[in-house]
Amino acid sequence: MMRVTQDEEASVAERTDLDDKAGEQAPLRRPRWEELPLVPDSQARSAWGVFGDDDELGGVNLVSADCAVQAAALVRTGRSFRLDLPLEYPSPPIFTREPFRHEVFDIAGTSFLDDRIDNLFPQSSTQWDALSHGYLRDAGFYNGFSRDQVFAGKLGIHNIAERGVVTRGVLADVARHRADAGNPVNPEAGDVITPEELQATLDGHGVRLQSGDVLCVRTGWMQWYLGLDEAGREKVSEKSRTFEGFALPGLGPGPEIAELMWDSGVAMLAADTPMVEPWPTAARPDGSPAQPAEMLHMLMLVLLGIPLGEFFDFEALADDCARDGRYDFLFTSAPLRLHGGIGSPPNVLAVK
Tell me, yes or no, whether 252 lies in a domain.
yes
pLDDT at 287: 65
Answer with the residue of higher pLDDT: 165 or 294: 165
Residue 16 located in a structural domain: no
Note the pLDDT of residue 40: 81
CA 188 from centre of chain? 21
Per-residue pLDDT reduced to its tens digit, 86-116: 999 999 999 999 999 999 999 999 999 999 9
Read off the pLDDT band of 13 (50, 70, 90): very low
User: SS3 for 229-246, per residue?
Assistant: CHHHHHHHHHHHHHCCCC
- The Cα-based distances of 214 to 102, 103, 165 in angstroms read 32, 35, 9
User: Does any domain span residue 201?
Assistant: yes
Q: Is residue 8 part of a domain?
A: no
Does residue 232 surpass a pLDDT of 60?
Answer: yes
| pLDDT > 90 fraction of the chain, expressed in percent and rounded | 83
Q: Is the pLDDT of residue 147 over 60?
A: yes
Asked whether residue 219 is domain-assigned, the answer is yes
Residues 32-89 pLDDT 10s: 999 999 888 777 899 999 999 999 999 999 999 999 999 999 999 999 999 999 999 9
Q: How far apart are CA 262 and CA 310, in angstroms?
A: 19
Task: Quote the domain boundaries for residue 222.
Answer: 46-95+118-351
In a domain, 70, yes or no: yes
Nearest residue to 53 via CA among 158, 163, 156, 154: 154
pLDDT tens across 340-350, in order?
999 999 999 99
| pLDDT band, residue 293 (cuts 50/70/90) | confident
**Nearest C-alpha neighbor of 3 from the set 54, 56, 61, 46:** 46
Is residue 208 included in any domain, yes or no?
A: yes
User: How many distinct structural domains can be found in the chain?
Assistant: 1
Domain assignment present for 84: yes
pTM of the model: 0.91
The strand ranges marked E within 98-160 are 101-106, 113-118, 127-129
Q: For the residues 3-26, what does the mean pLDDT come to? A: 41
- The domain that holds 79 is classified in CATH as 3.50.30.50
Please determine, for residue 18, whether its predicted confidence score (pLDDT) is greater than 50. Answer: no
What mean pLDDT, rounded, does the chain reach? 90
Q: Which residues contact 75 (CB under 8 A, 6 or more apart)?
A: 329, 330, 351, 352
